A = this chain, B = another copy of it.
Amino acid sequence: MTKTYTSEEAEALIHSHDPEHPANLICDLCQGFYKLGWVTGTGGGISIRDKDLVYLAPSGVQKERIKPEHIFVLPIAQSSVPKPGSKRDFIRIPKKEGLKESQCTPLFWNAFTMRNAGACIHTHSQHAVLLTLLLPRETPSFRISHQEMIKGVRIGGTGKALHYYDTLQVPIIENTAVEEDLTEGMAEAMAKYPDAPAILVRRHGVYVWGNTWEQAKTQAECLDYLFEIACKMLQNKIPLEGFE
């Protein structure tokens, strides 16, 4: 029962003077993520859900230079997981020629439908990728405990905050040739690890979500911090958990 939008109404969805409007936020946040090294070379991005609408950046563009007029809008109530390029109920497609919605669309949808998330962030952070390389090859998940920054992460990404003595666990799935082919593997890992606040993709990056864009962003920062300190600990042979 998605509302039907006229083209004027659809266009109006991405024009706002409010800096916290999703179309403005995506542009602003992507600039910040670029400075953090998370979305260099067109990789990564953020999708924000506002009630029954989902706002998405285009695929394959410089994320730090996106403008609101480049933003795609989709209804959250798709009949199935939306695949990039497939026929679906777009509410707004940018007029600029050749733009396609982010390849991450079906992966963002996992967070929206399986965790009822309000936002989902994908980064190619070197800390995430190096961590998946430093951990032994068979390791199914990253586990760490006894780090203050664990307290900034929520159970399942959208539940209660973890405690200092809790063990944070983030599953690691294998990368695939095409980004949308990660969809199923990510969904399986989310089902198998209901408390996981994120999914690491080996040799690729991480997906993090939260109830709101603020929680998705601060959790992405806490997790990236933990990936970074974990890489340093592994390189210095300091155990990641089981401390004391």
Contact = CB atoms under 8 A, between A and B. Distances in A.
Given A41-B225, A218-B62, A148 B164 contact: no
A42 B232 contact: no
Copies in the complex: 4
Nearest to A130: B232
Interface in A148-174: 148-149, 152, 163-165
B164 A176 contact: yes
A86 interface: no
B42 A133 contact: no
A148 B203 contact: yes
Nearest to A133: B238
Interface string A124-149: 10100110011000000000001111
A161 B221 CA distance: 31
A233 interface: yes
B146 A164 contact: no
B149 A222 contact: no
B235 A148 contact: no
Nearest to A161: B60
A43 B152 contact: yes
Interface in A194-244: 201, 203-205, 214, 217-219, 221-222, 224-225, 228-229, 232-233, 235-236, 238, 243
A175 interface: yes
A135 B124 CA distance: 24
A12 interface: no
Contacts of A40: 221-222, 224-225
Interface of A: 40-43, 61-62, 124, 126, 129-130, 133-134, 146-149, 152, 163-165, 175-178, 201, 203-205, 214, 217-219, 221-222, 224-225, 228-229, 232-233, 235-236, 238, 243
17 contacts: A40-B221, A40-B224, A41-B218, A41-B225, A42-B222, A43-B148, A61-B214, A62-B217, A126-B232, A129-B148, A133-B236, A134-B238, A147-B204, A164-B175, A164-B178, A165-B177, A203-B243
